[in-house]
């Protein structure tokens, strides 16, 4: 994948290193060139100095051909602006914004932005989201995550009770046609439903086949 990481702080630099190690083509954007020192001497991606919400800077970073973008600066408004530009102006398939202040979560949701938030945020969570394609990914502490994703073909006509895994995966809500449903075990899932569930972190790989690419 071709991936742009905007923000080269602690999380951004670690994320870029992880992605690069996994064989992805990574471009890191930051307004402060000294921040690139965090990437270390083994980083083999590209670095671009500039503001992440500048169209020319994003074009220079290759946003018109990127597969995913992660906006992980220290400012929620900046991350929100960058993610919105990526999705609505450049049609980036996966754009993830880092969210610090949970009070802004509703704004992110209203804009339809994909985000990651939590009291403890790590580069691994954002990496999971970029690769896994979750619509929402929120840490709730310990080893449990709350994620939202669009149901793929594998889940079409499956019952909730067929999908849930005791102590690993619990479906909390399903959104279909704008209506939110708290499902019983017998409820039948349809492709393109939006599913909100709680899942143990170690079980995340098990649900990759559920997700609509």
Let me know: does 117 contact 71? Beta carbons within 8 Å. Answer: no
Let me know: does 173 contact 180? Beta carbons within 8 Å. Answer: yes
**pLDDT value for 42:** 82
Q: Which helix (H) or strand (E) holds 139?
A: strand 136-139
Q: Which helix (H) or strand (E) holds 86?
A: helix 76-88
Query: How far apart are the C-alpha atoms of 87 and 69, rounded to whole Å?
Result: 9
Q: What is the pLDDT along the chain (213 residues), one digit of tens a residue?
A: 899 999 998 888 888 888 888 778 899 999 999 999 998 888 888 999 999 899 999 999 999 998 889 898 888 889 889 988 998 899 888 888 887 766 666 666 666 667 676 534 455 556 555 655 544 555 555 677 778 778 888 899 999 999 999 989 999 999 888 788 999 999 999 988 888 888 887 887 777 778 765
Domains and CATH numbers, the chain: 2-135 (3.40.50.720), 146-210 (3.30.70.1450)
């Amino acid at each position: 994948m071709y991936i742009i990481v905007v923000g080269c702080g602690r999380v951004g630099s670690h994320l870029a290193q992880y992605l690069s190690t996994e064989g992805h083509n990574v471009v890191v954007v930051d307004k402060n060139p000294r921040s690139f020192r965090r990437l270390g001497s083994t980083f083999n991606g590209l670095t671009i100095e500039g503001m992440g919400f500048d169209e020319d800077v994003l074009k220079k970073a290759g946003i018109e051909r990127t597969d995913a973008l992660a906006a992980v600066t220290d400012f929620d408004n900046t991350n929100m602006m960058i993610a919105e530009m990526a999705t609505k102006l450049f049609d980036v398939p996966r754009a993830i914004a880092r969210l610090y202040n949970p009070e802004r979560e509703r704004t992110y949701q209203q804009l339809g932005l994909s985000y990651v938030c939590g009291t403890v945020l790590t580069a691994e969570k954002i990496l999971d989201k970029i690769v896994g394609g979750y619509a929402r990914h929120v840490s709730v502490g310990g080893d449990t995550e709350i994620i939202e994703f669009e149901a793929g073909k594998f889940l079409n006509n499956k019952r909730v009770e067929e999908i849930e895994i005791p102590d690993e995966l619990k479906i909390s809500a399903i959104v279909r046609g704008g209506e939110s449903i708290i499902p019983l075990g017998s409820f039948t899932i349809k492709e393109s439903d939006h599913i909100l569930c709680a899942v143990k972190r170690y079980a995340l790989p098990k649900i990759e086949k559920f997700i609509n690419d």
